[in-house]
Amino acid sequence: MKLNLQIQDKYTWLIKEKPCVISGPCSVESEKQVLKTVQAISKSGKVNIIRGGIWKPRTRPNSFEGIGEIGLKWLKDAGRAVNLPVATEVANAEHVEACLKNEIDILWIGARTTVSPFAVQEIADALKGIDIPVFVKNPINPDFNLWIGALERINAAGINKIGAIHRGFSSFDKSSYRNLPMWELPIELKMICPDLPIICDPSHIAGSKDLIFQVAQKAMDMEMDGVMIESHIHPSDAKSDAEQQLTPEELITLLNQLQVRKSGCNNEEFTNNLEQLRIVIDELDEELINKFASRMAIIEKIGTYKKENEVTILQIERWEKILKNRTFLAEKVGLSNDFIKKMLELLHQESIRIQTEIMNKK
Ligand code: PEP
Ligand code: MN
């Protein structure tokens, strides 16, 4: 499949030199906070676009929901002070109008909005006839078509300065990331639409300061066009996402450490492609390990129940059912019978070992 979008060449409106760096606070909180943050981060000469959230879509009620329209002026003034364009998140037509009134330069659609075609269409309708760059963050769940659908709706409204933001995907499983990167999704997007700029948002993937560099470096190694990283003059006072915002100094150190490898020449291209695929493998293996851990935690619960109810560990009908059902599922997705059987045997052996340990506990 190819994604047919009308895109203006990214080097004419977005990228001077890779990476394109978007930074600023998660939320605009006060005139002083945004100005001080912006002045400090722009000193590096490495920030290209200032970000700041004005309306914050919070998962749970009773948290800071954004300063509202007044903040647009503070954001724009801060951008003017350092001569940089400013970007913010919009979730409905009213937001779009307020941004245009306040001369906000770039808009983005947040992960919780991309999931709603009605909301995306409302934004697209409000953007008809307007020439402004728009980024679409991936939806919170790993639904590739929702991401593409939102890009198509915005593009169909006539927006051709368009890009995607990869901010990771939420998961019920425990993980060291706030949102799983699932690099295979942005890679797929790159494959079906090579001209579309893709910016990685390591802040929302990592969720904590210490993982941001690693994610940003991976994004660079996968030839993403840039990074969106949250920064705050006093992260510990931040009204949203305090754990993941960097101080201006931390941001500058990170940007100085980022290695941007060139792609291009023949042999290098092969090496880069290989490296990208290996990064995906690393990521998938990590997910597999996390899944194994979740599976074994359930096995422990089962073992305890069986012990309490004096039931045997091995239930042969259950094991037969598992084998039959999993080989059927595996065949459907093209995995070899032999491989899945070996894999299941191993899992089963380990489950039995864990349950035996529980049974033997005094
Ligand atoms: C944000 O950028 O602050 C934000 C709310 O991001 P997301 O939509 O990715 O959760
Ligand atoms: Mn945030």
Residues 272 and 128 placed together within one structural domain of the fold:
no
Residue 242 structural domain: 10-257
Residues 152 and 98 placed together within one structural domain of the fold:
yes
User: Nearest residue CA, atom 1 of ligand 1?
Assistant: 26
Residue 285 lies in a domain: yes
Q: Is the pLDDT of residue 58 over 90?
A: no
Residues 73 and 219 placed together within one structural domain of the fold:
yes
**CA–CA separation, 175 and 354 (whole Å):** 22
**Cβ neighbourhood burial of 265 (10 Å; 0-12, 13-18, 19+):** exposed
Residues 27 and 129 placed together within one structural domain of the fold:
yes
Residue 78 lies in a domain: yes
C-alpha closest to that of 48 among 226, 308, 211, 294? 226
Whole-number Å distance, alpha carbon 314 to ligand 2 midpoint, is 48
Among 197, 232, 257, the domain-final residue is: 257
At 265 the pLDDT is 62
At 261 the pLDDT is 85
Residues 247 and 282 placed together within one structural domain of the fold:
no
pLDDT tier for residue 95 given thresholds of 50, 70 and 90: very high
Q: Per-residue pLDDT averaged across 344-362, rounded?
A: 93
Residue 60 lies in a domain: yes
At 273 the pLDDT is 85
Residue 341 lies in a domain: yes
Among 257, 276, 302, the domain-final residue is: 257
Residue 2 lies in a domain: no
Residues 109 and 194 placed together within one structural domain of the fold:
yes
**Residue 362: how many CB atoms within 10 A of its CB?**
2
Residue 3 lies in a domain: no
Instruction: Spell out the residues 6+ positions from residue 217 whose beta carbon is closer than 8 angstroms to its own.
Output: 258, 259
Indicate the number of domains in the chain: 2
Residues 148 and 15 placed together within one structural domain of the fold:
yes
Residues surrounding ion ligand 2 at CB below 5 Å: 26, 241
Residues 131 and 250 placed together within one structural domain of the fold:
yes
Q: Is the pLDDT of residue 174 over 90?
A: no
Q: Under the phi-then-psi rule, with left for phi > 0, alpha for psi from -120 to 50, and beta for the rest, what region is 158?
A: left
pLDDT tier for residue 248 given thresholds of 50, 70 and 90: very high
Q: Which of 39-48, 74-83, 201-210, 263-272 has the lowest mean pLDDT?
A: 263-272
At 362 the pLDDT is 84
Instruction: Spell out the residues 6+ positions from residue 234 whose beta carbon is closer than 8 angstroms to its own.
Output: 33, 247
Pairing of β 86-90 and β 49-51: parallel
Residues 208 and 138 placed together within one structural domain of the fold:
yes
Residues 175 and 216 placed together within one structural domain of the fold:
yes
The two tokens of residue 85 are 């364009």
**Segment 320-350, tens digit of pLDDT:** 999 999 999 999 999 999 999 999 999 999 9
Residues 280 and 189 placed together within one structural domain of the fold:
no
Cβ 110 under 6 angstroms from ligand 1: yes
Among 238, 257, 276, the domain-final residue is: 257
Residue 5 lies in a domain: no
At 270 the pLDDT is 82
Smallest-distance ligand from the CA of 244: 2
Domain containing 301 — which CATH number? Answer: 1.20.59.10
C-alpha distance across the termini of the chain, in Å: 59
**Segment 228-238, tens digit of pLDDT:** 999 999 999 99
Domain containing 34 — which CATH number? Answer: 3.20.20.70
Residue 74 lies in a domain: yes
Q: Which of 89, 123, 136, 230 to mutate to test ligand 1, by most ligand atoms within 8 A of the CB atom? A: 89
At 89 the pLDDT is 98
Whole-number Å distance, alpha carbon 218 to ligand 1 midpoint, is 20
**Segment 69-88, tens digit of pLDDT:** 999 999 999 999 999 999 99
Whole-number Å distance, alpha carbon 167 to ligand 1 midpoint, is 8
At 264 the pLDDT is 61
Is the pTM above the cut of 0.75? Answer: yes
Residues 25 and 109 placed together within one structural domain of the fold:
yes
